[in-house]
Chain A
Amino acid sequence: MSIERKGFRHLTEGSYPATHVVGKSVDKVDGYALASGAPMYTDDIAARDFPNRLHGRILTSSIANGVIISIDTSAAEALPGVRLVLTWKNTPRTFYTTAGQGWPEPSPYDNQMFTERVRFVGDRVAAVFADSIDIAEQALRLIKVSFKEEPAVLDADDAMKPGAPIVHPEDPKGAYDSAHNVAAHLDINVGDVDKALAESEVTISETFQTHYAQHTPMETHTAFAYTDDMGKVVIVSSTQVPWHARRIVSRVLDIPMSKLRVVKPRIGGGYGTKQEILIDDLVAYGTIKTGLPCEIELTRKEEFVSSRTRHPMKIDMSIGCDKQGHFRALKMYVLSNTGAYGSHSLTVMSNTGSKTLPLYNKATDVRFFGDAVYTNLPVPGAYRGYGATQGYAALECTIDDLAAKLGMDPIELRKMNMIRVGEGSPIFEALGEGRQGVAQTIKSSSLPTLIDLGAEAIGWTEKRGKRTRNGHKVRGVGMSMHMQGSGIPLIDMASASIKLNEDGSYFLTMGATDIGTGSDTILSQMAAEVLGVTMDKISALSSDTDLTPFDVGAYASSTTFVSGGAVVKAAKAVRNQIFSVAAEMLGEELDQQLVIAEPKVEWDNTQPDPILSFYRMDDGNVVSARSGKKVSVSDIAYRAYYEINQHQIATTQSFVSPYSPPPFAAHFVEIEVDELTGKVEVLKYVAAVDCGVSINPDLVRGQIMGAVANGIGFALTEEYHFGSHGNMTNSSLFDYKILSRRDMPPTEVIVVDNYEPTGPWGAKSVAEIGINGAIPAIGNAIFDATGIRLHRTPYTPDKVLAALRGKSI
C-alpha cells in the first residue's frame, strides 16, 4: 500500500493481515457534529442545561512569595449576587497534588485548595461564585488581602544555593528535599560513566537551556458541577483524566466515590495541560456549599499564568566515543524547574532520560541524573513530549556537534549508534516513570527507512554544508531523531465494554478519553475490524466514571496502544460469545474453553486465534468454517435476548501491557538565517514517523502536523516573558506567539507503517513524538548555515543576532 499526495506520504514495510476498516481514513465519528458547532463542550452544556448556574472567578496572587497576613471577604460577601467566597479559612486543608496521575501518586503533596502562603504570581488566593461573571469579578476586587512579602527564588540555578528562600517550608510529603527546594531527584547508573568518558578517545560536553511554554488549547480549562436529584455531585470537566479527577476530588473534599461522578464531554484540546486537577475541586465544592450548579471557565490570561506550562530545563550532556564514532558513554544531568509546585516533577524528569537515551543503545556506560527544583515561578506539568522534548534538545544537538568534531556526517553517526529491531537498552529496565522500568526489546522499527526518506525529501546530500547564500540570507539543513513510548508499561490500564444490540450493531463504552485526538474513531475502527462490521454499526461513548469502565486517561501516548488493546480484547470476547450462540443455532459443537479464553492482543503469525478455525465474522454474519453455513448476528441477538437460553451478549475487558513499543521519528528541516535581523525562517519541514500500523492515516498525519506546528512554535516564537517578580508579561494570544496559518512552513509528513506485534492491529501510539524534532533539527540547521551553536531556546532573532556577532549564547 502506498498513498502519496502533496505533503503526505504513507508507506508500509513488511507484511501483515488484511483489514477492512483498520488502516482506512474513515470519517471522524464526531466530525460532522463538531464541524457544525454542536453544543458538546463543557461550557456549551452548562449554558444549555443550567442557564441559571453560578459563575466562579479566582483571585490570584500578585506577589511571588509570601504569607497572607489577613484576608477580609466581608465586602465581597455583601455584594448582591455573590453566593460564596472561598479562602483557606473555609475550605478543606487536605494536601494533594494537582497532577492527574496513577496511584500511588508520584508527585509530591505540596498543594492545598487554598493556603496562607502564596508561591508565585498567579497562585490561588480566593474564589467567588456569583450570579454572573461581572458580579464575581466585582467581588474579587472587594476582597482585601494583605501579604507579608518574602524574597523569592526566580531562577532555577539559585534554588539549591545555600540561603535560598524555601518555597515549601511545610516539607510536603513526597518532596525529595524541600529544605533545599528539591522536589524530585534521580540518579540512574549503568556501568561507570565517568571512567568510560575518561577512557574515550573523543568526548564532548555541552549545556543547553530550554524555556517556559504553554499548551494554549483553544478551549481553556472549563468545568461545572451540579448536584443531581439523588444527591450525587456531578462534575462535567474538560479533563484528560476523568478517573484521576474523581479520585483526587473525592480525597480532597472527602466525598465518597459513590456520590461523585466525572463526565468528560468533547474537549477543545489538551496536550497535557488538562491532565491536571485545577478547577474541578472548586466547582464541586461550590455546588456542595450553595446547592446550585457552579461553573468556572479559565480566562486566557489565567490559562497562561495559573494553569500549567512546560518544565524549563538546563541539561548538561556528555558523550564519549572512539575515533570512528562508536558511542561508549552517555551522561545527562537535568536541572528541571518545576515552579511553585511539583506537579509531574519526578516523572517528566524521568522521561527526559528514559525516552531519549535508549535510542542510542550502543553506549555501554550511561548515567542519567537530575534535580527538579522549586522556584517562585509558574507551574509546569504534563506537556506533549513530557520531558523527552527537552532531552532531545540537548542530546540531538550534542550529537551533531560530536559529528562535526569527528568530521562525520551526523546521519552516519546516528545510524552507527541507534537502536535496531531485536535490541534493547539497559535504560528501559533501569528507569521507568519515577521508578524502576520494564525491560523492552524492539520488535518493529522503520527508523532506517525514515532517515533515508527524510534525507531524500529535504535534499540532504545536495544541501548539507553548502551554505547557499542569497544576499544577507544563508541556508542550512539539519535533522534529528526520536523515539517516545506507547503508554507506561505495567502501569497504564485501560478497559472497554461492548454489548450487542438486536439489529447487529454494538455499543462500545470506553474509559479512553478522546480529547480531540480522534480516539473514539480509531478505537471504533479496531472494534469494527474484529467484529466484521462497518463503522456505522459501532456506537461509541467515552468517558464517564459512572457509565464507562476505567481508564487512566489520555496521556503518555497510551490511548491507541493501551486503550486499543482493551477494545480489541473486548471485541474478541463479545465475538466469541456470538460464535457460541451461532454454534447452538447451527447445531455444531464449539469448545467452550475457546469461547471463554482470555483474548489476546498480540499477533503471532504462527499461532492464529484457534476459534477462527471454526467461525469467522463476515459483514454482520457468522460463517461456519465447517459447514459453510451463515447466520446473521442480528438473528443471534434476537434469539439470545428473547427466545432460547436468554442472556446478555456483552463483556468488559481490560488491558495492561509489559510492552511500551516506541514510535520512531526522523525530522529534517531546511532553514534560512537572515544575518541582518537574526530571523530564522523555516523553508521546509519533513517529519518521518513509524507508529506501527496507522489505524487511520489522516488522523495520524493530523497528530504529527499538530505536534510539528507546536514544536516549531516552541523552537522559534513561543516563550514566557517575566517581569521583575516572576510575573508573566505576555499572557495573551496576541503577545504569546503560536504559529498561524501563514507562519506554518511547507511540511511533509512521511508515515512508514511497520506491524508492531504487541499492539492492537499492529499499532503503536503517535500523539507526542512529533513535537520533539523542531528544536534540535532547527538548531542543527542553524549550525549548518552559520557554524553557530545556540544553547538557549527559543531561537529568536535577538539570540541569533547576538551569536552571529560573536557573543556566546
Chain B
Amino acid sequence: MTISINVNTVERSFDIQPGEVLLDVLRREGYLEVKGSCHSGDCGACTVLLDGRPVASCLILVAKADGHAVTTVRGIGDQAHPHVLQEAFVKNGAVQCGYCVPGAITSAKALLDENPDPTEEEIRLAMDSNYCRCTGYEQQVEAVLDAAAQLRKGDKK
C-alpha cells in the first residue's frame, strides 16, 4: 500500500508492507539519522516526533503515520544549521559515541516546545526513556538546561 507522511516538512509518499514499523521505513527511505537499537521500545534511540510528540519509531506501525507529520533530528537541525540543542550538546561535552544523541535531542526538543523553562527533574523525566551508556547523563541534562536558557533569552531560534 502507499501512504503519505510529512517528513521534516516535506510531503512524501511511501510504498509499504503491512506490519512494517516507522523506523524501518524511515531508514529505508534514507532518513538514516534515525538510529535503531533495541527494536522493542526500551532504549529511545529511534525517537522521532509524530505530530510534535516523541515516539519510539520502532514500535509505531508505519501505516499509523499515514497523513501525519514526522520530525527527525535532521528536521530539528543539521550540521550547517544546528539547532541550539545540538550546539549545547556539543558545547557541554554531552556527545560521546553519539548513537543515542539523535533520539535524546528529539525528546528534549519536544520537552522545550512544551515547557521552555524545565527543571533538572523535568528534563530527566522527559528524557528518561532515552538510554545512554557513555555519558552518565549529567552533561546531557546540563546541555538541555543550557539550550533552554538560550532559547528563553530569545537570541536563538
- Provide the bound-state CA to CA distance between A35 and B99, in Å: 9
In the complex, chain B residues 119-157 whose Cβ is within 8 Å of any chain A Cβ: 123-125, 127-142
Nearest CB in chain B to that of A299: its residue: B39
Q: Which of B42, B96, B97 contacts A219 (CB 8 A)?
A: B97
Residues of A within 8 A of B92 (CB): 698
A518-B96 CB under 8 A given contacts A219-B37, A732-B42: yes
Q: Which of B33, B36, B37, B123 contacts A39 (CB 8 A)?
A: B33
Q: Do A516 and B37 touch across chains, with their CB atoms under 8 A apart? A: no
Judge whether A187 is part of the interface by a CB distance below 8 angstroms. no
**Range, interface on chain A:** 35 or more
* CB within 8 Å of B: which A1-58 residues: 7, 25, 27-28, 30-39, 41, 43-44, 47-48, 51
The total of chain B residues at the interface (CB under 8 A) is 58
Instruction: Name the B residues within 8 Å of A269 (CB-CB).
Output: 96-97, 99, 133-134
Give the residue of A32, A268, A701 whose beta carbon is less than 8 angstroms from that of B82.
A32
Docked Cα-Cα span, A32 to B74, in Å, equals 11
- A218–B128 contact, CB under 8 A? no
Stretch at the interface among A97-105, A639-647, A733-741: A733-741
Judged by a CB distance under 8 angstroms, whether A217 is at the interface is yes
Query: For window 664-703 of chain A, which residues contact chain B by CB distance below 8 Å?
Result: 696, 698-699, 701-702
Chain A at the B interface: mostly helix, strand, loop or mixed?
A: loop
What's the minimum C-beta distance from B127 to chain A, rounded to whole angstroms?
5
The verdict on B116 contacting chain A, using a C-beta distance below 8 Å, is no
| B67, CB-defined interface residue at 8 Å | no
B112 at the interface (CB under 8 A from A): no
Question: Among the listed A38, A266, A738, A744, which residue makes an inter-chain contact with B33, where contact means beta carbons less than 8 Å apart?
Answer: A38
Nearest CB on B from A766, distance (A): 13
Cβ of A375 within 8 Å of any chain B Cβ, yes or no, is no
Contact A734 B32, CB 8 Å, known A706-B136, A740-B128: no
Interchain CB contact under 8 A, A738 and B131: yes
Please tell me if A237 contacts chain B, counting CB pairs below 8 Å.
no
A747 within 8 A of B: yes
- Give B123's nearest chain A residue, CB to CB: A741
Kindly supply a per-residue 1/0 record for chain B positions 39-81, scoring 1 wherever the CB is within 8 Å of any chain A CB and 0 otherwise: 1101101000000000000000000000000001110011100
Contact check, B138 vs A25: say whether CB atoms are below 8 A apart.
no
A508-567 interface (Cβ within 8 A of B):
515-518
A708 at the interface (CB under 8 A from B): yes
| Alpha-carbon gap, A741 to B131, bound state (A) | 7
Chain A min CB distance to B154 (Å): 22
Which of B30, B97, B105, B123 is A516 in contact with, Cβ under 8 Å? B97
User: For the complex, what is the distance from the CA of A217 to the CA of B45, rounded to whole Å?
Assistant: 11
Q: Complex formed: what's the CA distance from A809 to B47 in Å?
A: 42
Please indicate the chain B residues that have their CB under 8 angstroms from the CB of A27 in the complex: 90-91
| CB–CB B93/A25 < 8 A | yes
Asked whether A351 is an interface residue with its Cβ less than 8 Å from the other chain, the reply is no
Interface: A479 (CB within 8 A): no
Tell me if A267 is interfacial: C-beta within 8 Å of chain B: yes
**Contact assessment for A741 and B79 in the assembled complex, using a CB-CB cutoff below 8 Å:** no
Instruction: Determine whether the beta carbon of A32 is less than 8 Å from that of B79.
Output: yes
A271 at interface (Cβ–Cβ under 8 A)? yes
Closest B residue to A685 by beta carbon equals B136
Residue of A nearest to B78 (CB): A36
B36, B129, B134 pick with most chain A CB within 10 angstroms:
B134
Q: Are B136 and A705 in contact (CB under 8 A)?
A: yes
Q: Could you tell me the distance between the alpha carbons of A704 and B136 in the complex, rounded to whole angstroms?
A: 8
- List chain A residues, Cβ under 8 A from B137: 705, 709, 741, 744
How many Å from the CB of A446 to the closest CB on chain B? 21
- Given A27-B90, A48-B30, A741-B130, A702 contacting B136 (CB threshold 8 A): yes
CB neighbours of A710 from chain B (8 A):
133
CB atoms of A701 and B134 under 8 A apart = no
**Using an 8 Å CB-CB cutoff, how does the interface string of B80-110 with A read, 1 for contact, 0 for none?**
0010001101111111111111100100000
Cross-chain contact B40 with A733 (CB below 8 angstroms): yes
Q: How far is the CA of A744 from the CA of B27 in the complex (A)?
A: 32
Are A33 and B79 within 8 A (Cβ)?
A: yes
Q: Is the CB of B86 within 8 A of A36?
A: yes
Minimum C-beta distance from A451 to chain B (A): 22
Please, how many angstroms separate the alpha-carbon atoms of A517 and B95 in the complex? Answer: 9
CA distance A218 to B79 in the complex (A): 22
Contact assessment for B141 and A741 in the assembled complex, using a CB-CB cutoff below 8 Å: yes
B87 shortest CB reach to chain A, Å: 8
Choose from B82, B87, B99, B136 the contact partner of A218 (Cβ within 8 Å). B99
Indicate if the CB atoms of A34 and B131 lie closer than 8 Å: no
* Chain B, Cβ-Cβ closest to A36: B78
Q: Closest Cβ of chain B: how far from A799's Cβ, in Å?
A: 25
Question: In the complex, what's the smallest C-beta–C-beta distance from A471 to chain B, in angstroms?
Answer: 23
Q: Is the CB of B133 within 8 A of A217?
A: yes
List 22 interface pairs A-B (beta carbons < 8 Å), by A numbering: A7-B142, A36-B74, A37-B72, A37-B102, A51-B28, A218-B37, A218-B131, A219-B37, A268-B35, A269-B133, A271-B133, A517-B97, A699-B93, A702-B139, A705-B139, A706-B133, A706-B136, A733-B40, A738-B133, A741-B132, A742-B128, A744-B137
A residues within 8 Å of B by Cβ?
Answer: 7, 25, 27-28, 30-39, 41, 43-44, 47-48, 51, 215-220, 266-271, 299-300, 515-518, 696, 698-699, 701-702, 704-710, 732-734, 738, 740-742, 744, 747
The chain B residues found within 8 Å of chain A, CB to CB, are: 27-28, 30, 32-40, 42-43, 45, 72-74, 77-79, 82, 86-87, 89-102, 105, 123-125, 127-142
- Sort A-B residue pairs by CB-CB distance and give the 6 closest, nearest first: A516-B97, A37-B33, A34-B98, A705-B136, A698-B93, A268-B99
Apart from A32-B86, A516-B96, A744-B136, list 19 A-B contacts with CB within 8 A.
A28-B93, A33-B79, A34-B98, A35-B86, A36-B73, A36-B78, A44-B35, A48-B32, A219-B97, A220-B37, A268-B99, A698-B92, A698-B93, A698-B139, A702-B96, A702-B135, A706-B96, A733-B43, A741-B127
